[in-house]
Amino acid sequence: MIKITIIPGDGIGKEVMNAATHVLDSLELNLDYIYASAGYECFQKTGSTIPDETIKLTKKTSATLFGAVTTVPGHKSAIISLRKELDLYANIRPVKSYPGINSLFKDLDFVIIRENSEGLYSGLEDYTREGAVARRVITRRASERISRFAFDYAKKTGRKKVTAVHKANVLKKTDGVFKDSFYKVGEEYPDLEKEDFYVDATAMYFLTKPQIFDVLVTTNLFGDILSDEGAGLVGGLGLIPSANIGDKQGLFEPVHGSAPDIEGKGIANPVAMLLSTSMMLKYLKMEYEAENLEKAISAVLKNGKVVTPDLGGNYSTMDMAREVSKQIKIQNHS
Catalytic residue annotation = 121, 167, 200, 224, 228
- Rounded to an integer, what distance in angstroms lies between the CA atom of residue 95 and that of residue 211? 11
Between β-strands 132-134 and 161-166, what pairing exists: parallel, antiparallel or unpaired? unpaired
In DSSP notation, 20-43 reads HHHHHHHTT--EEEEE---SHHHH
Closest CA to 251 of 77, 91, 30: 91
**How many helices (H) and strands (E) in the chain?**
11, 12
Q: Is the distance from CB of 221 to CB of 175 less than 8 angstroms? A: no
DSSP label at 70?
-
The whole-angstrom distance between residue 219's C-alpha and the CA centroid of its chain comes to: 15
End-to-end CA distance of the chain: 28
- Residue 204 forms beta bridges with which residues? none
Q: Which helix (H) or strand (E) holds 171?
A: none
Beta strands in the chain (DSSP E): 2-9, 31-35, 63-68, 90-96, 109-115, 125-127, 132-134, 161-166, 193-198, 215-218, 241-245, 250-254
